[in-house]
């Protein structure tokens, strides 16, 4: 846990140190969307591998280096994914390096990649013996559109770097697609 907390603090410090001095390049807003999660089961246990839906929402920050189009975005999101016994609820902190290609002042295309930290609050039900990871790290890969300077629509895929659960002799990983919309001020 100390290792994850130290990594999180390093990421936050890096984000704060890399913020440009120009105030107009720092934008804040609200982000929300839908999680489409699928659980990957390993270990010979037969389980439900169908997609399940959840949601996420929360505040976000974005900074961009003018002319270059390179920047960072970070968010603090309440996130819900999975279903039934494998349901996860917690705080998600994605920190992405984002490159934007402008197609004029009102339209842009972006690609993003970076780590995603998920802090799980929900325990397994009493009738299931196993272990649910309280901190999970994933890699985000995403694309999207910036519209009218204030609206962003995006899709990203989260690739887990470790297990989400251990139930019986099975290792479970939660893989998620996220469809999001953000309004920036």
What domain range includes position 118? 27-184
Say if 121 falls within a structural domain.
yes
Reported as a pLDDT band with limits 50, 70 and 90, residue 21 is very low
CATH number at residue 102: 2.40.160.20
| CB burial readout 88-121, b (16+ within 10 A) else e | bebebbbbbebebeeeeeeebebbbebbbbbbbe
CA distance 68 to 8: 27
Tally of structural domains, the chain: 1
Say if 17 falls within a structural domain.
no
Say if 5 falls within a structural domain.
no
Q: Which two tokens stand for residue 144?
A: 């999207």
| CB burial readout 4-31, b (16+ within 10 A) else e | eeeebeebeeeeeeeeeeeeeeebebeb
Judged by DSSP in three states, 23 sits in helix
Q: Is the model's pLDDT at 22 over the cut of 90?
A: no
pLDDT digits (tens, 9 = 90+) for 69-97: 899 999 999 999 877 766 788 999 999 99
Q: Is the model's pLDDT at 53 over the cut of 50?
A: yes
Say if 7 falls within a structural domain.
no
Say if 20 falls within a structural domain.
no
Say if 61 falls within a structural domain.
yes
Say if 145 falls within a structural domain.
yes
CA distance 56 to 34: 6
Say if 10 falls within a structural domain.
no
With 0.85 as the threshold, say if the pTM is over it: no
pLDDT digits (tens, 9 = 90+) for 89-137: 899 999 999 999 987 768 999 999 999 999 988 765 555 556 667 888 9
Reported as a pLDDT band with limits 50, 70 and 90, residue 162 is confident
Residues 6+ positions from 127 with CB-CB distance below 8 Å:
none
CA distance 144 to 181: 9
- Closest by alpha carbon to 145, among 107, 104, 171? 107
Judged by DSSP in three states, 59 sits in strand
Q: Cα(first)–Cα(last) distance of the chain, in Å?
A: 35
């Amino acid at each position: 846990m100390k290792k994850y907390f130290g990594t999180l603090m390093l990421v936050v410090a890096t984000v704060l140190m890399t913020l440009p001095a120009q105030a107009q390049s720092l934008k804040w807003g609200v982000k929300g969307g839908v999680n489409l999660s699928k659980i990957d089961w390993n270990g010979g246990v037969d389980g439900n591998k169908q997609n399940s839906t959840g949601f996420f929402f929360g505040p976000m920050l974005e900074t961009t280096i003018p002319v270059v189009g390179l920047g960072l975005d970070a968010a603090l999101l309440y996130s819900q994914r999975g279903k039934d016994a494998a349901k996860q609820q917690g705080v998600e902190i994605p920190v992405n390096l984002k490159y934007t290609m402008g197609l004029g002042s009102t339209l842009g295309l972006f690609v993003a990649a970076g780590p995603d930290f998920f802090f799980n609050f929900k325990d397994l039900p009493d009738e299931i013996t196993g272990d649910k990871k309280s901190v999970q790290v994933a890699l985000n890969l995403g694309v999207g559109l910036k519209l009218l300077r204030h609206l962003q629509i995006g899709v990203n895929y989260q690739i887990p770097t470790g297990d989400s659960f251990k139930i019986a002799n099975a290792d479970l990983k939660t893989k998620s697609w996220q469809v999001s919309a953000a309004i920036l001020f």
